[in-house]
Structure 1
C-alpha cells in the first residue's frame, strides 16, 4: 500500500496497537517484518500509520504474536479495512487535522463521556456560544476562519442528535454554566439547549455545584470516547500546543477512574436540570 503523507489519528492508533502487540510478544521490528515478508522500514511505516496494512496481515501478525484476544483482533481487522469517508472530509485541508480526527473518533465511538469545568462541552454548544469562543481565542482570525470552525462544531452534533446517536454522558461544573461567554441572551439560549438535549434517553447531564466542598477536580476536563473494545478507548485533552490523544492502557484506566470520581461528586440528572432551570431564571 502507498505511504500516507498525513495519517489520521485512527490510522496511527492501528499501527500503535500492532506495535504494542509485537512488544508484548518480545519480538523486534525486523522479526515482525520477516513474518510479513517485508523489511524493517515497511514495518516501521505500518506501526506509525504511514503505511496501510491489510486485514490478512493484521490477522497473521496477531497469530504470530500469540494474541488470544479475539475481540481485539476483530476490532483491529475492522480498522484495517475501514474506508469511511465522512462529512468531515470536506474540511480536510482547510482546518487543522485534529478537527477531522475528533470527528472521525466521534463517528466510530460506542459512547462518549465529557468532563467540562470552564466551558460548555462542544457537542452541547450553541452556534453563538461556539462563535464567541473561537473568535475570542483567535482574535487574528477573519470571520471566514471562525465560520469554518463553528460549522464543523455544529456538524459534530450528529453523534448525539443524528439517526443513530451514541450514549452521551457529561459532567459540567456550574462555573461553566455561569460564565457569560457571549452575553446574557446567548447564555440563556445556551442553558436552554443543554436542558433540551438532556431530555433525550441516551443523554445524561450532571452538574457539579459551586457550593460543593472538597472538589479539587478543576483539571479534570476531558473527552472519553469508547472504542469498539475497551482497549481501543481514547481520551482527548487540550494541550498547550494543540489536542492530545491519550491511549495507553494505564492512562486510560486513570481517566476512567477520574470520570467516575467526578461523576460521583456531581448532582443527579434531575437535580442538575433543576439547577440549570434556576440559573436560567437568574438571567
Structure 2
C-alpha cells in the first residue's frame, strides 16, 4: 500500500519564478513537479476533452512510478448532472485517458453544489463506470464525432478506480455511504474551509482527499499543526490497508506545491522513495 501526495494541476502563471525556477520552460514544469511529488491531478480534463497526444506527452514527461489522477468532465457532472451520460462517458474515455497506461490512477468525479443526493441517479451513474481498463476501452469504442482522434485501446487490463467528491449537504446520509461502498467508489474527504460537506467514511479499497484551503477556499495554506493533523489522518487510512491519494488545490497563492512537499516530508516512509525534496 502506497501514499501519493500531489497537486491539482500544475500550469499556473503565479508559480513561475516562485515554485518553478525562473527561466524554466513551460514544457519542463510537469517534470519539475514530478521530481518532487508522486502524483498530479489532471484537471484540464474537467473543462474540456483532451487529446491522446497530450496524455502521451504527460506520460513521457514523468518518471516510472508516477501516477496521475484524472478529473472527469464537467459536461457529465455539472451539465448532464450524471443523467443520460453513456455517450459522454465514451467520449471522455476515448479522449486519451488510457494512454497513461500504468500511470493512470483514480478518476475523480466532482459533483456541483446544486446536485443533491438522489440514490437512483447516483447509483445508476456509479453502475455505469468502467471497473477495468479493458472495460474503459470497450466503452471508449462508442465515442462520437466530438473525439476526432480517439484512443480506444489499453496495453494491459488493470483495475480502474473512481472517487466521488460531493458538495451538497444532503450527502450526509448513511444511504449514500452504503451506496458508494456497494460500488467500491471512494468518497472524497474534501477540506473546503467549511463551505461544503466533509465526509471521511472509507468506502473503497483506497482513500482520496482534496485539500482546497485550511481557512479560505483555494487560498489558505496549511500551517505545521494542520499538516501534522493531515499526516496523522493519512496514516490512519493507510493502516487500514488502503492506498491513499492526497491532492492540494489551494493554488491561488502558490501554497499547493509548498504544502504538498511539506506533507510528503511528513509521510516520507510511505510515499514512493524516488521523490526528491
The two structures have a TM-score, normalised by structure 1, of: 0.30
More helix by share: 1
The two structures have a TM-score, normalised by structure 2, of: 0.31
More strand by share: 2
Which structure would you say has the larger Rg? Answer: 1
Which one has more relative contact order, counting CA pairs under 8 Å at least 6 apart? 2
